[in-house]
């Protein structure tokens, strides 16, 4: 049953529920001021029952309109309350910009086992869930995607297609020289890293890609935004892919695009840090937060650089091996050109990160020098009164008649006070105490 209210009224209700959620949110879980991530892990993990119930009563088209009308942060809250069964249908309705932003920003770790086959029908990919070996008998797929498959699943899929599927958990143990090769039966094996930049942190996820009899097999431990984007594009755009090699190249192209988007996020984060570092004085507490942010962006930038380097090796392997036709070869060259442009950006960001790191450390040194300056001034100021006290402490008879005065002791105190005040007055006039 769909929601009887019209979309504007429902949109107002959704925003009211989101606002109530924000008011109830624990302040300790709010975002870091130096890193403005969209959404939060707590939002993804904690269900909002009233909002979930409202979305369940709405039609898919109305939910899509609501998501389009909301801002990025509110959009994620709504998206996490949509049932997974309805999510794919909603994504197909959304505009390309909102769809891609939603997929990238809403990722959360998913190790649920899934086997999906993709057939080419009328120029588009048709997605079929595979639960048993019998589901494969009537299919002629160009792409079989396995997420966190069990050994049994890998075994019966491998037997059906006569292909050896590796354990995705062991892909990181391979030597770099053994990640791209061709078997005697013609199987093309590529073991590549795909970037994942999520709220939990950035990391590279190993994926096995096997081309066998014009069918692409992908095996990995978890869902990745790049793969989800590729599936949606191929399902919604006629002629996007024609065979398994097209799918393989488009996955690498999408990975390069995803890396470029991640670089833009690094630029944005460093811009916030740069304004804070160069615009005001930085305290030690703020410097600690800034250094943590810079370190996080440096880690992400390094992973992006490693990811594009791995993608370059994989695409170069495909071009050198003469596995591609003329159109695919041109696509591969374009991917390599895109990756080449990303190298310059990562190098620039490394320089910017080093500059901000040095500037922040410089502020820390300045703060420490101010503290040491206080001790230096205090030690210098106490030298004259210490000298006077030590001289009068000798008690030489005849040399110091003021020792026998009734006011000799106050006289020495006043003399020591003046010995401190006069140098401070001279230093302050010359500006040496600033």
Of 105, 128, 163, the domain-final residue: 105
Within a domain: residue 54?
Answer: yes
Residue ranges making up the domain that contains 42: 7-105
Domain boundary among 342, 366, 390: 366
Residue among 149, 170, 335, 148 at smallest CA distance from 253:
335
Specify if 376 maps to a domain. Answer: no
pLDDT at 22: 63
360 and 406 part of one domain:
no
323 with 413, same domain: the answer is no
| pLDDT reported for residue 344 | 85
Q: What does the pLDDT read at residue 4?
A: 45
Q: Which two tokens stand for residue 271?
A: 């811009």
Rg (CA), the chain: 33
Residue 372 domain flag: no
pLDDT tens figures, 11-23: 777 777 777 766 6
**Looking at the structure, do residues 182 and 245 belong to the same domain, yes or no?**
yes
Is there a single domain that holds both residue 100 and residue 123? no
Counting the structural domains of the chain, the total is 3
- Burial category of 208 from C-beta neighbours within 10 Å (exposed 0-12, middle 13-18, buried 19 and up): buried
Tell me whether residue 46 is in a domain.
yes
* Residues 184 and 298 grouped into a single domain: yes
Residues 62 and 171 in one domain: no
Q: Tell me the C-alpha to C-alpha distance, in Å, between residue 334 and each of 194, 238, 248, 316.
A: 19, 21, 14, 12
Low-confidence ranges of the chain (pLDDT < 50): 1-4, 26-47, 108-110
What pLDDT is stored for residue 45 in this prediction?
42
Q: Is residue 64 in some structural domain?
A: yes
pLDDT in tens, 32-57: 433 333 333 444 444 457 777 787 77
- Domain boundary among the residues 105, 124, 145 is at 105
pLDDT in tens, 141-159: 999 999 888 888 888 899 8
Query: Does some domain include residue 1?
Result: no
Q: Do 63 and 163 fall into the same domain?
A: no
What does the block give as tokens for 33?
């001021």
Do 122 and 191 share a structural domain?
yes
Kindly state whether residue 60 falls inside one of the protein's structural domains: yes
Exposed e or buried b for every residue in 64-84, given b needs 16+ CB within 10 A?
bbbbeebeebbbbbbbbbbee
Q: Does 212 lie in the same domain as 136?
A: yes
Same structural domain, 407 and 322: no
374 lies in some domain? no
3-state SS, 182-207, equals ECCCCCEEEEEEEEEEECCEEEEEEE
Residues 43 and 185 in one domain: no
Phi/psi at 127 (5° precision): -95, 130
CATH of the domain at 194: 3.30.460.20
Q: Are residues 273 and 386 in the same domain?
A: no
Cα torsion angle, 301, 306, 307, 311, sign: positive
- The order of strands in the sheet holding 114-121 is 124-129, 114-121, 143-147, 215-220, 201-212, 188-198, 180-182
Question: How does DSSP assign 61-82, residue by residue?
Answer: HHHHHHHHHS-HHHHHHHHTTS
């Amino acid at each position: 049953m769909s929601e009887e209210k019209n979309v504007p009224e429902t949109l107002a209700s959704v925003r009211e529920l989101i606002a109530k959620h924000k008011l109830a949110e624990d302040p300790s879980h709010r975002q870091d001021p130096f890193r403005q991530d969209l959404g939060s892990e707590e939002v993804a993990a904690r269900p909002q029952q009233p909002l979930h119930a409202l979305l369940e009563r709405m039609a898919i088209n109305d939910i899509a309109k609501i998501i389009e009308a909301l801002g990025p942060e509110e959009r994620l809250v709504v998206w996490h309350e949509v049932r997974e069964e309805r999510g794919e249908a909603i994504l197909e309705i959304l505009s390309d910009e909102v769809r891609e932003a939603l997929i990238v920003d809403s990722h959360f770790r998913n190790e649920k086992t899934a086997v999906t086959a993709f057939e080419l029908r009328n120029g588009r990919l048709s997605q079929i869930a595979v639960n048993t070996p019998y589901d494969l008998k009537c299919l002629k797929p160009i792409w079989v995607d396995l997420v966190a498959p069990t050994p049994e699943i890998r075994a019966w899929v491998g037997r059906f297609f006569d292909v050896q599927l590796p354990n995705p958990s062991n892909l990181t143990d391979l030597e770099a020289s053994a990640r791209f090769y061709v078997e005697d039966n013609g199987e093309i094996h590529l073991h590549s890293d795909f970037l994942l930049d999520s709220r939990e942190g950035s990391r590279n996820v190993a994926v096995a890609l096997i081309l066998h009899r014009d069918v692409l097999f992908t095996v990995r431990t978890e869902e990745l935004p790049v793969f989800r984007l590729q599936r949606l594009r191929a399902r919604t755009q006629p002629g996007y892919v024609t065979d398994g090699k097209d799918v393989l190249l488009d996955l690498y192209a999408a990975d390069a695009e995803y890396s470029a988007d991640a670089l833009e996020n690094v630029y944005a984060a460093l811009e916030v840090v740069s304004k804070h570092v160069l615009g005001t004085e930085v305290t030690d507490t703020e410097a600690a937060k800034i250094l943590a942010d810079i370190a996080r962006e440096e880690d992400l930038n390094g992973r992006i650089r490693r990811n594009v380097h791995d993608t370059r090796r994989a695409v170069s392997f495909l071009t050198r091996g003469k596995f591609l036709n003329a159109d695919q070869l041109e696509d591969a060259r374009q991917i390599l050109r895109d990756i080449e442009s990303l190298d310059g950006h990562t190098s620039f960001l490394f320089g910017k990160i080093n500059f901000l790191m040095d500037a922040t450390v410089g502020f820390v040194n300045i703060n420490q020098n101010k503290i040491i300056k206080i001790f230096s001034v205090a030690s210098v100021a106490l030298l004259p009164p210490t000298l006077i006290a030590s001289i009068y402490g000798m008690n030489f008879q005849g040399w110091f008649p003021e020792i026998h005065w009734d006011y000799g002791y106050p006289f020495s105190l006043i003399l020591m006070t003046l010995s401190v005040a006069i140098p401070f007055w001279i230093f302050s006039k010359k500006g040496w105490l600033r």
